[in-house]
Amino acid sequence: MAEIRQYKGIKHYLVIIVLISITVIMMIPLFYIVNTSFRPWAEIKSYPPKLVYEPSIGSYIRVFTARTVYPSGTTPSDEELAAMTWYEQIVYKDTNEEVVRRGDFPKRYANSLLISITTTLLTVILGTIAAYGFSRFKVRGEGNLLFFILSTRMLPPVIVVIPVFLMYRTVGLNDSYIGLILLYTAFNVSFAVWVLKGFIDEIPREYEEAAMVDGYTRWETFRKVVLPQSVTGIAATAVFVFIFSWNEYAFAFLLTRNTAQTVPAWLPYQMGVLGYDWGAAAAGSVLFLIPAMILTILLRKHLVRGISFGAIRK
Amino acid sequence: MKKVLLLALALALALVFSVSFIFAGGAQESAADEDQFITIHWAQWAPADYLQKLSEGFTAETGIKVIVEQTPWETFVQKYNVEMIARSDAWDIIVGDSQDLGNMADSGHYVDLTKFFNDNGLKNKFTESSVAAYAEYPAKSGKYWGIPAEGDCLGWAYRKDLFEKPENAAAFKAKYGYKLDVPKNWDEMLDIAEFFHDPDNGFYGISIYGDNGYDSLVMFAEQMIWTYGGDLGDYATGQVLGILNTPESAAGLKRYKELFQFVPPAFNDAFFVKANDAFTAGIVPMTCNYYAFLPALANNATNPYADGTDYFACPPQKGADGIIRQYSALGGQGASVITYSKKKDLAMKWMEWFIRDDVQMEWARIGGYSCSKTVLDSDTFLNAAPYNPAFAESLNIMKDFWSHPDYGELMEIAARTLGNYIIRDNGTAEEALQACAEEWDAVINK
Amino acid sequence: MKKTMNNLSGPLNRQMSDTVFVRLCILPVIILLIVINIFPLFYSLILSFTEYSARKAFSPEFIGNANYRDLLTDPTVWVRFVTTAKYVVMSVAGEMILGFSIALLLQEKFRGRGVLQTLLVLPMTMSPVIVGLMWKLFMDPNWGMFNYLLGLGRIDWASNPDINLYAIVIADIWMWTPFVMLLSIAGLSAVPQSLYEAAEIDRASWWFKFTRITLPMVSPLLMIALIFRVMEAFKVFDVPMGISGTGSSAPPLIAMKLYKDTFLTWKTGYGSALGYIVLLIVIAITSIFVKYLNKAKQED
């Protein structure tokens, strides 16, 4: 008996060690991005990589600013140096550049937030209602309709983007918030309906029946009985929809120009006169990761339980 | 339920926050509505910021605000083409790619600037090659559609410190029989690349473009073809066969291929980013790149070897016929006024201001590449940056790709067929040129 | 489960009939999909039979099935389909095996398990285009750290046409294993403990429990993970574009050609035809999977 217990103990720790190793390996690329964002310009390309270096926040400042390089031979005078703000001094010290203006990053970031949050809310609302409809009522041609809804997710973005572009051009939706939000919602609602129908299928109907006997209308039943029990499914759906619209590249890249441009359509192009700014791209990536990461961490408990797709019977 | 409420509340707050964020940003822009302003469209890169900075002078003089709208390079040309088809008045001026001039002029998107050009004597104000590339279409027609804004072509940076190192100089002299110096022709270029190539120690002979996703490989190839006495075709008549597929063109392409043996690993997709990265990483003695990207190499903060770096223009080559030719592939952009703009008068005011000598001088001083002869000849310019003398020399030898309305397709064909030989190592130079010539002929003379 | 609640309608529903209610539920979604997805789909179906370039001023010219004929007789297109199939099989298989294995390991209870699980999900929350960009830097033989950490020589992962397909597979597996892992955990967590306890009494082997209890219970969710991953992997272009660019040394993936035809050379009609071929293939594959999924669901 003692032997068995010991064996179990070894297995237990072995599993933990394996899991920790996997996690560490999976984290290396992420760590590499963070590490790159703090490396000074020339350090990023040193090989073999120096393990010890003086970290700099210069990359973070560069992603927020537009700059010009001091023409070679000219340097700012002492008074000019003294008049510089702290971040201008860092930029000057790091890359010998002069800050011209604040960059577009905050605006792109705000666009990303606005578009992703609105898309998420809209998708979840539409998706929940439709999923409830499919789950609780016999809809004629339900199987076909559901497959049709799913199949819209199979479209390669480039096949719809030209017609969407032409259509949006006619109605003036190119480079607009509404245009991107509608598009993202349409592309995500299929996923949402699938996940949520599965989830709502699992909720016992007895509560609803009881509520309706108590005189609730259909809508009240949905709102007061079904909705609270669907929280987990809704949360999981919201995370996935948010991640998709937050990170979407193809449509954002092709359908926006300035007003509604999001971070993924802007961040990869850190092309300054000093060449490609890997540091600024890495710094922007780190900052861009944060919202999706926070959302995932906050809703992690719902994430697993919410995506059962109705494929599990309890 | 509480959690849902909390979540919804948090989301709503974030929404309000971001909306106000945007309107705060938008408020500044809408302030411009009350004033007069023009919008200039250019690619997303530092020179566009220079132009924004330069235009402050224009605003100070006239009170007309200037907004420089920037689009990533990868989609820049596509985007303005699509907007133009829709007759969009989003911009008043486009600083557009030189190869696209024909397409834009033909489709009526650009305003005919011939009168403006002649009245101001611009033909003699800017260098001949820049007028041909950024302003005139069709070739030699005397019709002008733009003004040279950012001149650019391929030039070279090299590690003077390594070239002058006594061991290197002695070893080179012993092996090749002449002094290790800036290459005076493309044979010497090959020798130098071979001499420095030492992959076992992580050092390589040369850095040249290898990417054929868009125009990079074609730019280097066309320059080699011209230098060796070949040509891409007759831009005026559209004849390709018998002009592109010649032994001279093949000789140029073969030299490209020979040089390509000495590039660092992973140069099959190298364009301007990697060319500079390799140089600043200290793994090549010389790199070819557009002048627009050379400031990075002169900057101590971004290039540890900046003090030992010097520059030269593309060298000449004596052809099989005994004639010496020298060419540099042209990049760069010209500024043109949009037909659909509602503020053409203001746009023209900006154009008039931009061609002024003092503005051109300031443009060069803050980092733009002016094509004005006065600027290029001035000592102030030649001494302003270490690469400026090489740039001034290059501006006289630069030549452009087709400005055919279908140049995009021509570019794709050349990138594919020539890339097949240079980077994929399939077939011969003659076969690649033959394939390219036939496909080009089908597009141009359909 | 397929029973309906129609028996509840009638006198209890004071405001609207169920038919109206259900229509109100479903219609918004259907309308949105028709406007944003179906209309463009028809539009590009028509364009696929024409010669047309969205950047030129001329209007589409009807040329019958010439685009389809050109595409299906072009050997390079077939090479692209084969490469794409290889890519999909390798990356999805890798993700399924790794994701499911990690999920199995995570069944072990220990402190900090939640932390590990959350960390493991993170790659999935990144933007594919940024993943592509950063892996390119990571794998660069001249200054990246990938080769260095693995103790490999200067292997040119991104631009050597012989191996860069694997580079993309590696990045894709890194990014999407978490997705399979999440769905697997969801599936595993729903397996009733009582089944295992019963098997324990019968002294069933680990293998028996795994193949007779775990796999059948989890298979519907694994199937769903498979459907989504195959669908996405088939049309992925942002990660490959970031890693190996759009040149001819990049792996010949079908989505890459789609992107180039539509946006670099602007052969809109031709690109639409290719898009349709891709769409039909994805629908065919998916419907086979969905059939199996429904079967798997009915079995338990």
> Does residue B201 share a domain with residue B98?
no
The percent of residues above 90 in pLDDT, for chain C, comes to 40
Is there a domain that residue A112 lies in?
yes
Task: Collapse the DSSP code of B324 into the 3-class scheme (helix H, G, I; strand E, B; otherwise coil) and give the result.
Answer: strand
> Does residue B161 share a domain with residue B143?
no
Residue C168 has pLDDT above 50, yes or no: yes
Residue type, A37: S
Mean pLDDT of C271-289: 90
> Does residue B348 share a domain with residue B298?
no
Closest chain C C-alpha to B177 CA, distance in angstroms: 32
CB contact under 8 A, A67 and B46: yes
A128 with A234: CB under 8 angstroms? yes
- Phi (first) and psi of residue C126, to 5 degrees: -90, 160
| CATH code assigned at B121 | 3.40.190.10
> Does residue A237 share a domain with residue A118?
yes
The C residues from 155 to 184 touching A (CB cutoff 8 Å) are 174, 177, 182-183
- Phi (first) and psi of residue B307, to 5 degrees: -65, -30
Confirm or reject contact between A128 and chain C (CB < 8 A).
no
CA dist B129 and B397 (Å) reads: 7
The percent of residues above 70 in pLDDT, for chain C, comes to 94
ipTM rounded to 2 decimals: 0.89
Residue A155 has pLDDT above 90, yes or no: no
Mean pLDDT of A27-45: 91
Please give the tally of structural domains in chain B: 2
Joined tokens for residue A189? 């609602």
> Does residue A152 share a domain with residue A290?
yes
Please give the pLDDT value at position C38: 84
Please give the pLDDT value at position C11: 44
Mean pLDDT of B170-194: 96
Is there a domain that residue B294 lies in?
yes
Closest chain A C-alpha to C70 CA, distance in angstroms: 18
Please give the pLDDT value at position B419: 93
Residue C6 has pLDDT above 70, yes or no: no
How many CA atoms does the CB half-sphere of B264 hold within 13 Å?
A: 26
Closest chain C C-alpha to B274 CA, distance in angstroms: 10
> Does residue A117 share a domain with residue A24?
no
> Does residue B106 share a domain with residue B186?
no
Give residue for tokens 């140096």.
A81
Mean pLDDT of chain B, nearest integer:
89
> Does residue A265 share a domain with residue A144?
yes
CA dist B365 and B383 (Å) reads: 11
> Does residue A30 share a domain with residue A123?
no
Please give the pLDDT value at position B15: 52
Is there a domain that residue A73 lies in?
no
B chain contacts of residue A45, beta-carbon cutoff 8 Å: 277, 280-281
> Does residue A215 share a domain with residue A120?
yes
Alpha helices in chain C (DSSP H): 18-33, 39-47, 66-73, 75-105, 113-121, 128-139, 146-150, 164-189, 193-201, 206-209, 215-234, 238-244, 254-259, 268-299
Residue closest to B145 by CA, chosen among B109, B116, B111: B111
Range of the domain at B256: 154-330+403-444
Confidence of residue C109 (pLDDT cuts 50, 70, 90): confident
Q: Testing the interface with C: which of B200, B220, B268 to mutate, by most C Cβ within 10 A?
A: B268
Q: Over chain A, what HEC string results? A: CHHHHHHHHHHHHHHHHHHHHHHHHHHHHHHHHHHHHHCCHHHHHCCCCCCCCCCCCHHHHHHHEEEEECCCCCCCCHHHHHHCCHHHHHHHHHHCEEEEEECCHHHHHHHHHHHHHHHHHHHHHHHHHHHHHHHHCCCCCHHHHHHHHHHHHHCCHHHHHHHHHHHHHHHCCCCCHHHHHHHHHHHHHHHHHHHHHHHHHHCCCHHHHHHHHCCCCHHHHHHHHHHHHCHHHHHHHHHHHHHHHHHCCHHHHHHCCCCCCCHHHCCCCCEECCEECHHHHHHHHHHHHHHHHHHHHHCHHHHHHHCCCCCCCC
Q: Which residue has the higher pLDDT, C267 or A274?
A: C267
Q: Which residue has the higher pLDDT, C217 or B313?
A: B313
Q: Which residue has the higher pLDDT, C158 or B25?
A: C158
Is there a domain that residue A74 lies in?
no
Mean pLDDT of B414-431: 93
| Partner chains of C (3+ C-beta pairs under 8 Å) | A, B
CA dist C228 and C207 (Å) reads: 28
- Phi (first) and psi of residue B148, to 5 degrees: -60, 125
Mean pLDDT of C278-295: 86
Mean pLDDT of B104-127: 93
Residue C32 has pLDDT above 70, yes or no: yes
Please give the pLDDT value at position C94: 97
Please give the pLDDT value at position B203: 95
Lowest-confidence range among A269-278, B129-138, C37-46, C237-246? A269-278
CA dist B35 and A83 (Å) reads: 31
Per-residue pLDDT tens over the stretch B145-160: 999 999 999 999 999 9
Mean pLDDT of B342-362: 95
Please give the pLDDT value at position B13: 54
DSSP structural state of residue B421? H
B231 with B244: CB under 8 angstroms? yes
Mean pLDDT of B413-433: 94
CA dist C32 and A207 (Å) reads: 31
Please give the pLDDT value at position A126: 94
Using CB atoms within 10 A of its CB, is residue B239 exposed (0-12), middle (13-18) or buried (19+)? Answer: middle
Is there a domain that residue A274 lies in?
yes
Is there a domain that residue B318 lies in?
yes
Residue C162 has pLDDT above 50, yes or no: yes
Mean pLDDT of chain A, nearest integer:
86
B3 with A230: CB under 8 angstroms? no
Residue C5 has pLDDT above 50, yes or no: no
> Does residue A277 share a domain with residue A185?
yes
B380 with B133: CB under 8 angstroms? no
Q: Which residues have C-beta within 8 Å of that of residue A156, sequence separation ≥ 6?
A: C234, C235, C255, C258, C275, C278, C279, C282
Confirm or reject contact between B415 and chain C (CB < 8 A).
yes
C31 with C253: CB under 8 angstroms? no
Closest chain C C-alpha to B213 CA, distance in angstroms: 3
Domains in chain C, start-ordered, CATH in brackets? 76-299 (1.10.3720.10)
> Does residue A131 share a domain with residue A28?
no
Residue A312 has pLDDT above 70, yes or no: no
Give residue for tokens 């489709």.
B107
> Does residue B230 share a domain with residue B176?
yes
B chain contacts of residue A169, beta-carbon cutoff 8 Å: 86
Residue B22 has pLDDT above 60, yes or no: no
Residue closest to C240 by CA, chosen among C164, C126, C173: C164
Please give the pLDDT value at position A6: 53
DSSP H or E run through B149: strand B147-150
CB contact under 8 A, A228 and B72: no
Q: Which residues have C-beta within 8 Å of that of residue C198, sequence separation ≥ 6?
A: none
Q: How far apart are the first and last CA of chain C?
A: 13
Confirm or reject contact between C246 and chain B (CB < 8 A).
yes
Confirm or reject contact between B424 and chain C (CB < 8 A).
yes
> Does residue A216 share a domain with residue A126?
yes
Beta bridge partners, B65, equal B37
> Does residue A275 share a domain with residue A147?
yes
Alpha-carbon dihedral A206, A212, A216, A217, rounded to 10 degrees:
110
Listed residues B344, B368, B392: the one ending a domain: B368
Is there a domain that residue B392 lies in?
no
CB contact under 8 A, A160 and C237: no
Is there a domain that residue A60 lies in?
no
Is there a domain that residue B120 lies in?
yes
Give residue for tokens 């009638």.
C10
Confirm or reject contact between B14 and chain A (CB < 8 A).
yes
Rounded to 10°, the helix C128-139/A2-38 angle is: 90
> Does residue B96 share a domain with residue B243?
no
Mean pLDDT of A134-149: 78
C chain contacts of residue A124, beta-carbon cutoff 8 Å: none
Please give the tally of structural domains in chain A: 2
C chain contacts of residue A162, beta-carbon cutoff 8 Å: 40, 44, 47, 54, 262, 268, 271-272
Range of the domain at A26: 2-38
The A residues from 6 to 45 touching C (CB cutoff 8 Å) are 12, 15-16, 18-20, 22-23, 26-30, 32-33, 36, 44-45
Confidence of residue B343 (pLDDT cuts 50, 70, 90): very high
Residue A264 preceded by cis peptide, ω within 30: no
CA dist A280 and A62 (Å) reads: 6
Is there a domain that residue A268 lies in?
yes
Residue closest to B109 by CA, chosen among A164, C61, C55: C55
Listed residues B368, B391, B424: the one ending a domain: B368
Cα Rg of chain B, angstroms: 24
Is there a domain that residue A289 lies in?
yes
Residue closest to B227 by CA, chosen among B239, B238, B219, B217: B219
Please give the pLDDT value at position C7: 45
B395 with B153: CB under 8 angstroms? yes
> Does residue B158 share a domain with residue B122?
no
Highest mean pLDDT among B77-91, B187-201, C3-17: B187-201
> Does residue A110 share a domain with residue A32?
no
Per-residue pLDDT tens over the stretch C172-229: 999 999 999 999 998 888 788 888 888 888 888 888 888 888 888 888 889 888 988 9
- Phi (first) and psi of residue B20, to 5 degrees: -65, -35
Residue closest to A309 by CA, chosen among A200, A195, A208, A220: A195
Mean pLDDT of A109-138: 93
CA dist B260 and B209 (Å) reads: 9
Residue B106 has pLDDT above 70, yes or no: yes
Is there a domain that residue A299 lies in?
yes
Q: Which residue has the higher pLDDT, A147 or B109?
A: B109
| CATH code assigned at A125 | 1.10.3720.10
CA dist A248 and B110 (Å) reads: 34
CA dist B127 and B140 (Å) reads: 15
A chain contacts of residue B73, beta-carbon cutoff 8 Å: 269, 271
- Strand pairing report for B93-97 and B37-43: parallel
B238 Rama sector, left if φ>0, alpha if ψ -120 to 50, beta otherwise: left
Per-residue pLDDT tens over the stretch A15-31: 999 999 999 999 999 99
Closest chain C C-alpha to A104 CA, distance in angstroms: 18
